């Protein structure tokens, strides 16, 4: 068999924030990345990341960047509510993309963005980073191989301190589109839907509470939901990102249980097996509140800095995508269609909680606007 010649990558990174910097630094080390350009609306931040990533080009205008002849692959890592324009522009140029989740924070915009991607035929994937952690890959393989028989019931519980919620409310120009389901619950949802691949959800019932974040941010503390599938399977989930700032999980503390006709699978991803307590302030994941002196280490989903390097799923995910572009190898990334599906489900969960009644699936952008 003839070995395939790898494709050289001219990489455009749109959005040079926390994730853009992480992925950019990883890209500088990939042997097939020969050129890097950045688009960042904050010029000072753009220059900082340009130096760290050894980028050849930096601009505040993503259109200028994506029009460069060197560019043949794109990472979109802007704030969540700013994904649509660069993704659609890149799709028109037929540039393969890695897009941070979600495609959009508005369901109609997400549907239009997916349509643009599908019309162009471009290879676009969505950054559900947890798919690149070994524990979820092992779980996926066991379910795929039939170790549980037919999966009949799955539960998930995600707890987060409110630092992520406050950060998202502060950055958003439309706080009404921010919810724990859309921004963070979608990670647990994607893992479960990945485990239940091939099943069709037909109805959701949900309720939310807003006692902690409601007064200051008009936000939602947490949501509990039950999704029913066409074959009678049930998924029950809970997400709460309103825990006190001193909750030790840097970001995500998750438990999942899956039951089938022939077996059961339980995954403890709460990170309580590595606990650090210190008199010094810790900076695990999001910048901590001044009272935080205890952390569940490894609970920052992108990975952890160790010996000067990021170790963990975002490193695996980024390198895997670069191999996908340069070598054409298959990967376990979420497709753009899966990304839109996850947003639709999170919006349906929020809709059901708001209406306090069951909602049939799937929902349309028009359905989402229901008030009664």
Query: How confident is the model over 119-162, as pLDDT tens digits?
Result: 999 999 999 999 999 999 999 999 999 999 999 999 999 999 99
Q: What confidence tens digit (pLDDT) does each residue in 215-239 have?
A: 889 899 999 999 999 999 999 999 9
Q: Are 176 and 220 in contact (CB under 8 A)?
A: no
User: Which residue segments constitute the domains of the chain, with CATH numbers given?
Assistant: 9-130+320-336 (3.40.50.720), 134-301 (3.30.360.10)
C-alpha span between 154 and 296 (Å, rounded): 25
Torsion sign over Cα 244, 249, 250, 251: negative
This model's pTM is above 0.75:
yes
Q: Residue 40 carries which DSSP code?
A: -
Residue 250 is predicted with a pLDDT of 75
Which are the contacts of 327, defined by CB distance < 8 A and separation ≥ 6?
Answer: 4, 6, 7
15: three-class secondary structure by DSSP: coil
Q: Are 326 and 123 in contact (CB under 8 A)?
A: no
Give, for 98, the enclosing helix (H) or strand (E). strand 97-100
The residues with which 334 forms a beta bridge, in sequence order, are 126
Closest CA to 88 of 60, 71, 111: 111
What is the percent of the chain where pLDDT is above 70? Answer: 96
Q: Residue 249 carries which DSSP code?
A: B
Residue 306 is predicted with a pLDDT of 87
Q: Are 349 and 225 in contact (CB under 8 A)?
A: yes
Lowest mean pLDDT among 147-156, 208-217, 256-265: 208-217
Which are the contacts of 212, defined by CB distance < 8 A and separation ≥ 6?
Answer: 162, 221, 242
What DSSP string runs through 229-287? ETTS-EEEEEEEEEE-TT-SBSS-EEEEEEEESS-EEEEEES-TTSEEE-SSPP-SSSP
C-alpha span between 201 and 362 (Å, rounded): 8
Q: Are 347 and 363 in contact (CB under 8 A)?
A: yes
287: three-class secondary structure by DSSP: coil
């Amino acid at each position: 068999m003839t070995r395939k010649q790898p494709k050289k990558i001219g990489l455009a990174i749109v959005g040079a924030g926390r994730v853009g910097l992480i992925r950019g630094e990883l890209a500088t080390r990939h042997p097939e990345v020969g050129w890097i350009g950045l688009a960042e609306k904050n010029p000072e931040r753009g220059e900082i990341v340009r130096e760290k990533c050894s980028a050849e080009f930096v601009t505040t205008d993503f259109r200028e960047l994506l029009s460069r002849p060197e560019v043949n692959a794109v990472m979109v890592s802007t704030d969540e509510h700013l994904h649509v324009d660069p993704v659609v522009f890149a799709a028109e140029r037929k540039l393969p993309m890695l897009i941070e989740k979600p495609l959009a924070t508005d369901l109609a915009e997400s549907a239009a963005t997916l349509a643009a991607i599908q019309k162009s035929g471009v290879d676009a994937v969505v950054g559900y980073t947890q798919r690149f952690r070994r524990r979820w890959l092992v779980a996926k393989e066991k379910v795929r191989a039939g170790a549980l028989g037919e999966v009949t019931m799955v539960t998930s519980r995600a707890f987060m301190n409110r630092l992520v919620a406050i950060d998202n409310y502060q950055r958003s120009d439309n706080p009404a589109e921010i919810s724990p389901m859309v921004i963070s619950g979608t990670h647990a949802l994607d893992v479960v839907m990945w485990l239940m691949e091939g099943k069709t959800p037909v109805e959701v019932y949900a309720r939310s509470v807003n006692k902690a974040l409601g007064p200051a941010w008009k936000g939602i503390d947490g949501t509990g939901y039950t999704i029913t599938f066409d074959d009678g399977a049930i998924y029950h989930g809970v997400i709460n990102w309103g825990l006190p700032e001193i909750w030790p999980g840097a970001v995500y503390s998750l438990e999942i249980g899956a039951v089938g006709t022939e077996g059961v699978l339980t995954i403890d991803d709460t990170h309580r097996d590595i606990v650090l307590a210190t008199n010094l302030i810790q900076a695990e994941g999001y910048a901590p509140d001044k009272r935080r002196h205890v952390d569940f280490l490894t609970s920052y989903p992108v990975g952890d800095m160790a010996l000067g390097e990021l170790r963990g799923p975002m490193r695996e995910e980024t390198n895997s995508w670069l191999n996908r572009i340069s070598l054409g190898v298959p990967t376990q990334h979420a497709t753009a269609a899966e990304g839109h599906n996850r947003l639709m489900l999170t919006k349906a969960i929020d809709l059901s909680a708001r209406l306090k009644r069951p909602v049939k699936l799937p929902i349309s952008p028009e359905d989402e606007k229901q008030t009664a």
